[in-house]
Structure 1
Amino acid sequence: MSVPPPQVTATTELSAVGRSRPLPNGLAAFLVFLASGAVLVLETVALRLVGPYVGVTLEVTSSVIGLALAAIAYGAWFGGWLADRRDPRTLLAPALVLAGIAAAVTVPVVRYAGEVLRGGAASAILLLTAIAVFVPAALLSSVTPLVVKLQLGDLNRTGQVVGRLSGIGTLGGITATLATGFVLVAALPSTVIVLLVAVALGVTGLVLAVYLRRQDRAGLPGPARTRSVVAVVGLVGAALTTVAPNPCDVETAYHCARVEVDPQRSSGRTLLLNSAQHSYVDLDDPTHLEYAYTQWIGAVADVAAPAGRRLDALHLGGGGFTVPTYLSATRPGTANLVFEIDGGLVELGRRELGVREGPQLRAVVGDARVLLDGEPARSRDLVVGDAFGHLVVPWHLATREMAAGIRRVLRPGGIYTQNVIDYPPGRFIRAEIATVAAVFPHVALVAPPAGIAGTQGANFVIVASDAPLPLDALRARLDGLTEPAAVLSGPALTAFVGSARVLTDDYAPVDQLLATA
């Protein structure tokens, strides 16, 4: 008489494959929420860690997002692979502790590597962003499949378990993204944020190890010597952060900022943003304009109206407030309104660059494009565009729609002057001139001869108005400067622009146009 084989149900089949006891639902949800959230915190902060060395451009942002997604993909795949071959309960605590160590080591490694990779070439961007985010993000992304495997005690509830934990992980990422962008970055330096994440992961991993060891002796594996080595590596990584080169004196919501004293001029101050020279201010002489492009903008302001007459001026971007203080000194009674998106720079200017607000200078913190819409029509004699994200004009400030908004607030005969940085082959400056010329009937360009010839990168200053420009007076002012500058207008400017396409809110690939060929 034969005995029928035992029936195999979904539950018994799964228990035969994975015999580890599931975690309490609350603990499982917490681990997934924490791991997913930590990935998004590190991804957000990574952009600020690499910015001082390779800039904050579309390519850098894309690299951070792309490499973080790659880390998530590979980490989840590897975590699932391990979960099928090892008891996940023995892997969870090590994954968290190692992720914490990797996060702690990230800051000094990025700073040392950044000094070597400084510049912005594509290979440098990819390598530095990989250093900043890949390893800790991959380790953290392995946590979810390990937890999922532990919780799958019944195949009939697979969809419910996977769906719930996936949703919790997504909520963790959303919460971390919003908290980092709105709260953490504004309140804490990037170094502190990363170290806090590292500590949270390390402590969670150690507590989890103790808990699991009490439950079934499945905590941190390996001999005590190995665990000691891991702990020492983590401590050394955190300690290196204190001695690693720091490019920032002040970390604002948007920039890594530093003010340096000019060794050749005791009253001179240079403002560096993301390690690039941004502004120069002479605390004793506000009429001193150190950089050639500020001298050109000053020359435009000098010929915008009879000497000494007050102006109503609007400045898109404050930086070191060099031009507003120049106008206040050369044209007493001038009303300067400055739109600066970075409130930290305004505070830095007050503290170290001699910025004094009053009837002649008022700073408003906010996005220039948004604030411009609130300005009355025909209220300004002069608009100065000098807003940058690293070395790039923010794309929404470089479009035809933005130029139309500027013309709206200018009085008849008022002048718009815009600073632009570009490199050979000069695609962005040509497109920006075409864009401004699509709104203003009279446009000229001030630039060094080498920049116009396309043999070197340079600052370019666009000058535009609805009335004929005082070009003869401008050329006379420029002739008195130490650095040569050419003025292009009319057919010569048309030939320089060529077939460049007008930038609009629907099409403004500023970063790509600025990239060298």
Structure 2
Amino acid sequence: MSSPPSDVEAPPASSAPPAPATALALPNGLAAFLVFFSSGAVLVLETVALRLVGPYVGVTLQVTSSVIGIALAAIAYGAWSGGWLADRRDPRTMLAPALVLAGIATAITLPVVRYAGEVLRGGAASAILLLVALAVFVPAALLAAVTPLVVKLQLADLRRTGQVVGRLSGIGTLGGITATLLTGFVLVAALPTTVILLSLAIALGVAGIGLGWYLRRQARTELPGPARTRAALAVLGLIGAGLTTVAPNPCDIETAYHCARVAVDPMRPTGRTLLLNSAEHSYVDLTDPKHLEYAYTKWIGAVADVTAPAGQRLDALHLGGGGFTVPRYLTATRPGTDNVVFEIDGGLVELGERELGVRPGPDLRAVVGDARMLVAGQPTDSRDLVVGDAFGHLVVPWHLATREMAAEIRRVTRPGGVYVQNVIDYPPLRFIRAELATVAAEFAHVALIAPPQALAEQQGANFVIVGSDAPLPLDAIGTRLSEVDPQVAMLPGAELTDFVGAAMVLTDDFAPVDQLLATA
């Protein structure tokens, strides 16, 4: 006899009680910490990598793009591999080793990059990519594997998959954001790269060892591999940390922006060369501020010498301080000159005062900050001479090379005043042509000073652009140039127009400086 149909409807599947949490799952707080910490560690590595490779390959758009691209590739492959392994082995046996191995890889990164950097120094795109990969890929990939391992453990109830994945993904993103801001605003300004990397390596190792102890205690599992393997890993980490202490260090000090070193000139005991990211940037004579070693500083000095009658004071604005060579020259040759220097790197100002004979006072005021922002706050028609000598490695920062910046400089320059800008370029000279077109779009009279071989596209060199709203004293400048550097050439008027050709004018909307500098 069949039973009568029931009048009570079965409850919907969604109202069924949730499945009990599996014993494999980690406590929510621990899972959140592991994802937050590992994701943040990747971004610390990415941020510090720029400072680590900068002394060898510069800090250019290509280098920055390489760091971002390699880091993203490491994250992608690490997450993919971590997810693949999580489906084949117990994730609890792999979490602690991943953190410990990431710590070891981080400790080894610094000596590996410093030794390899000496070989790959100044190389092409392939050298940049290889050096960045050595700095970032392995530890970042290991750390990226942590999140899918944790996610696998937390998926106790398939009906909450979206919630679990979304929450842990959000926590990982917050970890990356926190680490990026903390590293950029605090760590880099307070600690050397060596200390940051070794501290991160220790933190990862301690976290991995602590996690391994916790998991063994909670679930009675062991890290894979015999004790000898774990001992070997510990020894490897110690070797990596030890190599860091003997690896070649290209820096005397690390500022917020540069790896800086001051070298004594063996041919001139009072001469000092300032190297930033291993590239020569400035030369000063501690006892003779009138001495100008580099050709381009002689050209700038020659323009300054004819800007006003001999010995007459000037109101000068300098965009970029470096070794403060030109401000010291102006003070020595034109007593009473008011030099205001905009230098983005406060560490260089301190280094100049300590080792390069920079003496702030009524004739020299250094203002720390971005020149683009600071120029906007200068009074109109307030300067007789503006000197543009700001570089990020060997590249003029793009926002200082645009027509909008040139317009601000023209506004600050007095009628009849002069703007001189130092530019570095290489054949086929696309950037210097574009920058000349940009300056000429704002200043009525422009000339170019450069070596003849560079103008013939036979070599890379410094170029000095001279601009003014009033006709330039070309004869006087040419005479003075012949006295300080008989080999240099000057292009004014029609010659300059022919040289510039149809070069683009750089604007805030479109200023591909790094691409223009790339050799064909």
Q: Give the TM-score category using the shorter length.
A: over 0.9
The residue aligned with 2:35 is: 32
Between the aligned partners of 1:275 and 1:61, the Cα distance in structure 2 is 18
> TM-score normalized by structure 2?
0.96
Q: Report the Cα distance in structure 2 between the residues aligned to 1:219 and 1:342, rounded to whole angstroms.
A: 50
Map of 2:268 onto structure 1: 265
Contact 1:335–1:361 under 8 Å retained in 2: yes
Indicate the RMSD between aligned Cα atoms, in angstroms. Answer: 1.6
Query: Which of 186, 189, 192 does residue 183 from structure 1 map onto?
Result: 186
Question: Counterpart in 2 of 1:57?
Answer: 60
Separation in structure 2 between the aligned mates of residue 482 and residue 304 of structure 1, nearest angstrom: 18
Give the Å deviation of 1:482.
Answer: 4.3
1:499 has 2:502 as partner: yes
Distance 2:407 2:356 in 1: 33
Which residue of 1 is the match for residue 291 of structure 2?
288
Whether the 8 Å contact between 2:270 and 2:287 is mirrored in structure 1 is yes
Question: Equivalents in 1 of 2:485, 2:451: separation in Å?
Answer: 12
What's 2:5 paired with?
Answer: none
Paired residues for 1:369-380 under 5 Å:
369-380=372-383
Deviation at 1:120, TM superposition (A): 3.6
Separation of aligned partners in 2, 1:213 and 1:483 = 78
Of 284, 306, 310, which residue of structure 1 is paired with 2:309?
306
1:55-454 equivalent positions in 2, closer than 5 A: 55-454=58-457
Tell me the distance in 1 between the aligned counterparts of 2:487 and 2:142.
56
Asked if structure 2 preserves the Cα contact closer than 8 Å seen for 1:268 and 1:280, the reply is yes
Summarize deviations over 1:366-413 as a string: whole Å, max 9, x none. Answer: 000000010000000000000000000000000000000000001100
Shift of 1:15: 9.3
| Alignment deviations for residues 445-503 of structure 1 (CA, whole Å, 9 cap, x no partner) | 00000110000000000000000001101111111124511000111101111110000
Matches of 2:518 and 2:232, distance apart in 1: 45
| TM-score, scaled relative to structure 1 | 0.96
Tell me by how many angstroms 1:20 deviates. Answer: 5.7
What is the CA distance between 1:191 and its match in structure 2? Answer: 1.1
Counterpart-to-counterpart distance in 1, 2:211 and 2:466: 64
Q: For residue 471 of structure 2, give the secondary structure of its aligned residue in structure 1.
A: coil
Aligned 8 A contact 2:298 2:485 in 1: no
Q: Secondary structure at the match of 1:290?
A: coil
**Contact in 1 for aligned 2:302/2:484 (Cα 8 Å):** no
Percentage of identical aligned residues: 80
Alpha-carbon distance, 1:53 to partner: 0.4
| Partner SS for 1:460 | strand
Residue pair 2:320, 2:341 contacting (<8 A) in 1 also: yes
1:3 corresponds in structure 2 to none
The alignment covers a number of residue pairs equal to 507
Distance 1:218 1:354 in 2: 63
Deviation readout 1:78-132 (Å, 9 max, x if unpaired): 0000000000000000000000000000000000000000014100010000011
Contact 1:272 1:279 in 2 (8 A): yes
**CA displacement, residues 184-242 of structure 1 (integer Å, 9 cap, x when unaligned):** 00000011111111100000000111111111222422111111100000000011000
CA–CA distance in structure 2, aligned partners of residues 253 and 185 of structure 1: 6
Distance between the aligned counterparts of 2:174 and 2:222, measured in 1?
Answer: 27
> SS in structure 2 opposite 1:248?
coil
Unpaired stretches in structure 2, ≥5 consecutive residues: 1-12
